[in-house]
Homo-oligomer: A and B are copies of this chain.
Amino acid sequence: MRFLPREVRAAGSDAPCFETPLGGLEEELTPTDRHFVRSHFPVPEIDLARWKLVVDGEVDRPRSFRWEELAALPRAGVTAVLECAGNSRSYFRPWTEGVPWGHGAVGTARWEGVRLREVLTAAGLRPAASEVVFEGVDRGNEPGVARTIPYAMSVPLAKALDPDTLLADRMNGETLTPAHGFPMRALVPGWYGMASVKWLSRITVLDRPFSGYFRRRAYAYLPLGATDERAAVPATTTRVKSLITSPREGTRLEPGTLLVRGIAWSGNGAIASVKVRVDTSPRGAGAWRPARLLPGPPGPTWRRWVVRCDLPRPGIFVIRARATDTTGATQADRAEWNYRGIGNNAIHAVPIEIVERSGTAPTRPRRSSRAG
């Protein structure tokens, strides 16, 4: 069975957005055509022969690179998980603004290209350099902004110089597809996906923080009572999180031992542990039991995990999984509400039902007629 990506749209937007389907969350690498896609504007058509990448701002030698020039630089690669900052947004209560993502705005891929620091070094960073802005070819209108704007996002200089931060032109061994940013995108492992700007057209080095719409407003923690975007905290690193990929919500199973599977990741470091709990009553909580982390490829990617849970009797149960990373950061029952609905790393809770083994006395009502 092949699960297709699910399209998710913001109200009034014509930008393509797709969630990674279940199957893509259970694999070590997410196939490219099933890897989530987040776009803010329609996908631009780019003629490689005319495309160039401008590097300017606080550099000694502002210049533009043609495709062949970038392709001639030393190659690098990284296997990385990317999660949209708005992933799991629709699980926030109350409502929050933005694309109503389920849990599927996350994926893991092998990325290849050149290190951003090669390009920055070639242009000559000035002493005042402190922040690096990526700007895409794509542009359009956003609420509350009077004119069309390009998609743009920034990272601090230290993150830009990280050897894992790439200008990526290949994904899972193939040329980038248009939906994933052809011909070149930023790839910023450890940060929410908004920093991995697609369809790159310009890299600008600043001597001060970037305050563009997408940084100050769209991808910022805007708390209750914030008086304007100046009170907002821009999103940066990916919060520690885990998802249960099996069983799915609403699964019916017979009593026995259940294999619970999932994934866990963090932008702050490696996953130290995943613990799983099965709740069997409204008040009492089951004990947290450690899951086994499966070996995976090196790099800032997700870890797959598995644990056996005994469910010997029929009933309604809720399974929860909680990851902790090597910095000690862990997940809570609820993530702090914010108006843009970003950073939702609340503990994933999956209700299931164990039904009487078939062949024994049925727990389903045998009759539903009027004679009841």
Q: Which residues of A contact B (CB under 8 A)?
A: 57, 91, 93-97, 133, 135, 142-146, 149-150, 152, 154, 202, 204, 206, 208-217, 222-230, 249-250, 252, 279-282, 313-318, 336-337, 339, 349-351, 353, 355-356, 363-365, 367-372
20 contacts between A and B (CB under 8 A): A57-B370, A91-B93, A94-B349, A94-B351, A95-B351, A133-B372, A144-B252, A145-B364, A210-B372, A211-B367, A213-B365, A224-B280, A224-B281, A224-B317, A224-B318, A225-B280, A225-B282, A225-B316, A229-B363, A282-B336
Knowing A225-B316, A249-B94 are in contact, say whether A369-B152 is a contact too (CB < 8 A). yes
Name the B residues within 8 Å of A150 (CB-CB): 368-369
Tell whether A93 pairs with B349 under 8 Å between CB atoms, given A228-B363, A365-B229: yes
Given contacts A94-B349, A209-B372, 19 further A-B contacts (CB under 8 A): A94-B350, A95-B249, A133-B370, A145-B368, A152-B369, A202-B370, A206-B370, A211-B372, A215-B372, A223-B282, A224-B316, A224-B318, A226-B316, A227-B314, A227-B315, A229-B364, A282-B336, A282-B337, A316-B339
List 3 A-B pairs, minimum CB-CB distance, nearest first: A213-B368, A94-B349, A212-B368
Chain B residues with CB under 8 A of A355: 144, 228
Q: Are A364 and B217 interface neighbours, CB within 8 A? A: yes
Judging by beta carbons under 8 Å apart, are A250 and B95 in contact?
yes
Distance, CA A61 to CA B160, complexed state (A): 86
Residues of B within 8 A of A143 (CB): 252
Closest-by-CB residue of B relative to A313 is B227
Contact A228–B314 (Cβ < 8 Å): yes
Q: Which residue of B lies closest to A209 (CB)?
A: B372
Cβ–Cβ contact B316 & A369, under 8 A: no
A351 partner residues in chain B, CB cutoff 8 A = 94-97, 224, 339
Residue from the list B97, B227, B371 in contact with A204, Cβ < 8 A: B371
Min CB distance, A329 to chain B, in Å?
A: 20
Q: Kindly list chain B residues whose C-beta atoms are within 8 Å of the C-beta of A135.
A: 369-370
Q: What's the least CB distance linking A240 to chain B, in Å?
A: 19
Partner of A370, one of B208, B209, B210, B365: B210
Residues in B whose Cβ lies below 8 Å from that of A93: 91, 93, 349
- From B95, B225, B364, B370, contact of A152 by CB (8 A): B370
Question: Across the two chains, which residue of chain B brings its CB closest to A363?
Answer: B228
For the complex, give the distance between the alpha carbons of A150 and B371 in Å. Answer: 12
Give Cα A340 to B272, complex, Å.
36
In the bound complex, residues from chain B placing their C-beta under 8 Å from that of A314 are 227-228
Residue of B nearest to A228 (CB): B363
With A95-B351, A144-B364, A216-B365 known to touch, is A281 a contact of B370 (CB < 8 Å)?
A: no
| Closest chain B residue, CB of each to CB of A148 | B368
Least distance between A137 CB and chain B CB atoms (Å)? 13
Within 8 Å CB of A315, what residues of B?
Answer: 225-228
